[in-house]
Amino acid sequence: MKTYRIHLIRHGLTDDNIKGVYSGRNETSLSEEGKAQLMQMKEEYKYPEVDFVFSSPLKRCTETAELLYPHLKPIVIDELTEYNFGEFEGRTAEELHEKEPLFDRWLLGEENIKPPFGESNREFIDRICNAFVKIVDGVVKSGSDNVAIITHGGVISSLLSNFGIPEASVSEWMTPSGCGFTLLISHYLWMSGHKAEVIKELPEIPQDEAEGNYYDGWDYYPNDDDFDISEYLND
């Protein structure tokens, strides 16, 4: 039975990332360091070849899509936008912890807590998960079996915590700039519970370098390196 690969890739580095501030709807471009880093990673490692690229509408994502896939025009999906941090935007966690009474409860993931003039955790999850389901269903209908989604770190980690196998928390799916994961969508897992197997990290390293332990990578099975997909199929 046909399977589908969806590659979730976080945008490149921005000045806000370097500053360590919450950056959601703020229209920041990639930093010069971020652009150079992406091009170096593209040259040294391997990003997957894809048929289509979906992207958040924010510049840092569309710029990343243009650098990694210059031959493809990104399909912009508004619902892939990063969290709406409201009045938390542009501020550090340390500052918010000291000055915003709701921040700690919001950070713990309480569903209905929201930053002033922002969106709640539940609203965010509903938005991005609904968008992802529509993308997967659209990919299946189109017959394409290899697509990339360029989006934000918070979006990727939240999608994986909801759809990914192995199951892990949001914090365990944190993704470096320009990196990501490949998801394998099979008919059975998707139709029986909207689940997707996380099969590799991105970008991939050349096989000869991998065999020589040139690069150890980062653990894409956060809870169990001996994870067996059959455990889920037999539930």
pLDDT given at position 160: 97
pLDDT, tens digit (0-9, with 9 covering 90-100), for 4-15: 999 999 999 999
194 within some domain: yes
CATH number of the domain enclosing 153: 3.40.50.1240
**Confidence check: pLDDT of 229 > 50:** no
**Confidence check: pLDDT of 227 > 70:** no
Q: Which two tokens stand for residue 83?
A: 């969290």
CB 134 within 8 A of CB 151: no
210 within some domain: yes
pLDDT given at position 136: 94
128 within some domain: yes
Which residues are within 8 A (CB) of 34 and not within 5 positions of it... i.e. 6 or more apart? 12, 13, 14, 17, 60, 177, 178
In the chain, % of residues over pLDDT 90:
77
CB 141 within 8 A of CB 2: no
103 within some domain: no
94 within some domain: no
pLDDT given at position 183: 97
Strand order across the 164-165 sheet: 75-76, 52-55, 146-151, 3-10, 180-186, 196-202, 164-165
pLDDT given at position 209: 58
Q: Kindly state the DSSP code that residue 166 receives in the 8-state scheme.
A: S
pLDDT, tens digit (0-9, with 9 covering 90-100), for 129-150: 999 999 999 998 988 899 999 9
99 within some domain: no
Which residues are within 8 A (CB) of 87 and not within 5 positions of it... i.e. 6 or more apart? 100, 115, 116, 117, 118
How buried is 223 (Cβ within 10 angstroms: 0-12 exposed, 13-18 middle, 19+ buried)?
exposed
pLDDT, tens digit (0-9, with 9 covering 90-100), for 36-91: 999 999 999 999 999 999 999 999 999 999 999 999 999 999 999 999 999 999 99
pLDDT given at position 168: 93
pLDDT given at position 207: 63
**Cis link prior to 166 (omega < 30° from 0)?**
yes
Average model confidence (pLDDT) across the chain: 88
Number of domains forming the structure of the chain? 1
Q: How far, in Å, CA of 27 to CA of 4, rounded?
A: 32
Determine the structural domain holding residue 160 and report its residue range: 3-85+120-233
115 within some domain: no
Question: What angle, 0 to 180 degrees and rounded to 10, lies between the N-to-C axes of helices 32-44 and 59-68?
Answer: 30
28 within some domain: yes
Q: How far, in Å, CA of 185 to CA of 162, rounded?
A: 14
With CA atoms as reference, report the closest residue to 6 among 39, 64, 51, 68.
51
Q: How far, in Å, CA of 49 to CA of 37, rounded?
A: 19
Q: Model confidence at 109, in pLDDT bands (50, 70, 90)?
A: confident
Q: Model confidence at 215, in pLDDT bands (50, 70, 90)?
A: very low
pTM of the entire predicted model: 0.86
pLDDT, tens digit (0-9, with 9 covering 90-100), for 145-159: 999 999 999 999 999
pLDDT given at position 188: 87
Q: How far, in Å, CA of 72 to CA of 50, rounded?
A: 9
